[in-house]
Amino acid sequence: MSSSPLDPVLTANFLRGNTAIIVLAILRDGPAHGYAIGSEIARRSEHTLEFKQGTLYPILHELERDGSICSEWEIPNGDRPRRVYTITESGQRELERRMEAWQRFNAAMIRVTAVRLDEQTG
């Protein structure tokens, strides 16, 4: 099943600052190259989160500089070399920290917007 993509501007605004969580969450399940990460985001979000896939690489390189992930070349027989990313222990901790903050933020947003909905319908 696939949902329709969100408005691209809204998606970009929502994703700003949160793409790192998404990438770390994908890598928590195992090493992957950039293309696999992009495909997995599309699959898990049921194509709701659509963004230019090239924007993943600045984020991956940033996370690597921060020490949250590491990477190495994988050279399959006769195929183009690809860079495979793996989450580090510090990345795991960073993901947990960000997830906790995100869950609290998300819960607060739901509470706040639910009150507004009640006011409008009540």
Partner 1 sequence: MNKLAEVIHSRSNPDLPGELLPPDAEIDRYLELFGAQLLGVVPFNQRYRLRNEAAFHLERLRDDLIAEGHDRREAVRRAIVAYGPAEQLAEQYIKSWFEKSAGGVLAKRLGKGNAIAFVAFALAELICVGLFYGRIFVPVESVFRYTVDPTVFPASTLNAVPIPDSSLFFAVLATVVLVAPILAGAWVGAKVPIHPMRAVYHGLLPCILYSFVSGVLVLPSRELLLFALVQLVYWLPVSLAVAHFARLHVRALRIGKELSA
Beta bridge partners of 82: 74
Q: How far is the CB of 30 from partner 1 (least distance, A)?
A: 18
Q: Which is nearer to partner 1, 19 or 95 (CB)?
A: 19
Q: Which is nearer to partner 1, 36 or 117 (CB)?
A: 36
Question: What are the residues binding partner 1 (CB under 8 A)?
Answer: 33-35, 38, 52-55, 57-59, 61-62, 65-66, 80-83
First-to-last alpha carbon distance for the chain, in angstroms, is 34
Q: How far is the CB of 69 from partner 1 (least distance, A)?
A: 14
What is the phi/psi pair of residue 3, to 5°? -85, 165
Q: Count helices and strands (H / E) in the chain.
A: 5, 3
